[in-house]
Amino acid sequence: MAMFFSKLLTADDIENGLSIPGCSPGQLPDQEGLTMSMQVHDRDGQDWTFSCTVKRNDSVGQFLSAGWNKFVRERDLRVDDKVTIHVEAMKKQGTGTWIRVEVKRKIRLFGEDIWADV
């Protein structure tokens, strides 16, 4: 399984949608406003649909904005949690991709920082 994207969450990611830089998923369509759905699975095997929109910003260029409000609420995501999206080819059908979202939170335990699943 290959890592597709990883970042520490900002308040904007939590409140307005996860921003994924255009260079992360490869070449994005050059059509600002284009919408699509991203089907993902979490560590518990639950399926989620993130509604995505291609956007452009002068400071970061083209990016994908993923709407994931329900996921944020149910997982109680917070600023500085680390989200990672993994992608792998489907083995059974031979086509398509399997996308898994993973979120970790840094906690201090016995004087050490560890990343725990959220």
**pLDDT tens-digit profile, the chain (118 residues):** 677 789 999 999 999 999 887 655 555 566 777 788 888 999 888 999 999 888 888 877 778 888 999 999 999 999 999 999 888 765 555 556 678 999 999 999 999 999 999 9
Integer-rounded Cα radius of gyration of the chain: 15
The domain total for the chain is: 1
Token reading at 3:
């890592």
Is 40 exposed, middle or buried, given 0-12, 13-18 or 19+ CB atoms closer than 10 A? buried
Q: What is the CATH number of the domain that holds 74?
A: 2.40.330.10
Domain with 15 in it:
2-117
Half-sphere exposure of 46 (CA within 13 A, CB side): 9
- Rounded to two decimals, the pTM is 0.79
Query: Residue 77 in contact with residue 102, Cβ under 8 Å?
Result: no
DSSP run (H or E) holding 13: helix 11-16
Retrieve residue 9's tokens.
Answer: 């969450």
